[in-house]
Structure 1
Amino acid sequence: MKKITMYTQPDCPPCEYAKTFLKEKGFELDLRDIQKDARARKELVQKYQCYSTPTFIIGETVIAGFDHDKLQEVLGF
């Protein structure tokens, strides 16, 4: 199963929906809260040039925002 790193933050409805959706599909998530973890926030901006949540890192693929179709395509379900 592919590793999914998910950048998230409190009070982010799309983040909560994405977490529920992916967990129901059986995926394990490496959650990184950008409000509680300054290192995660810096990594999201500097390494991935993203400023919003949710952002997903799956292998070399970066998905900014909860794009249901793109997640299905990348994860193969």
Structure 2
Amino acid sequence: MNDIILFTQPDCPPCKIMKMFLQENQISFIEKNIKEDAASMKELTKKYGSYSTPTIVINGQAIIGFEIDKIKETLSLA
């Protein structure tokens, strides 16, 4: 089972698409909204070195942006 965190923010169309992709593939994830949670914003920037959403972290590996092919490969969906 994969440990997945999805960093999102409101009014982010790629974030919504990423959530739909994960849900359609029945992949469980933890969503962290960086606008509502300052700790999540700090984690995104300090721990993962990302300043944009969506950023998805799969088993500790951060994939920044809507890199669907890389995400499929990492999740063995390709």
Give TM-score, length-normalised by structure 2: 0.95
Task: Tell me if 1:33 matches 2:33.
Answer: yes
Amino acid aligned to 2:62: V
Deviation at 1:60, TM superposition (A): 2.5
RMSD of aligned alpha carbons: 0.7
Cα deviation 1:40-71 (Å, max 9, x = unaligned): 00010011110000001101211001111000
Structure 1 residue ranges, 4+ long, deviating more than 4 angstroms after superposition = none
CA distance in 1, matches of 2:2, 2:22: 12
Amino acid aligned to 2:68: H
| Identity fraction in percent | 45
Report 1:1-77 matches (<5 A).
1-77=1-77
Q: Point out where structure 2 has 5 or more consecutive residues left out of the alignment.
A: none
CA distance in 2, matches of 1:62, 1:36: 21
Q: Point out where structure 1 has 5 or more consecutive residues left out of the alignment.
A: none
Size of the alignment, in residue pairs? Answer: 77
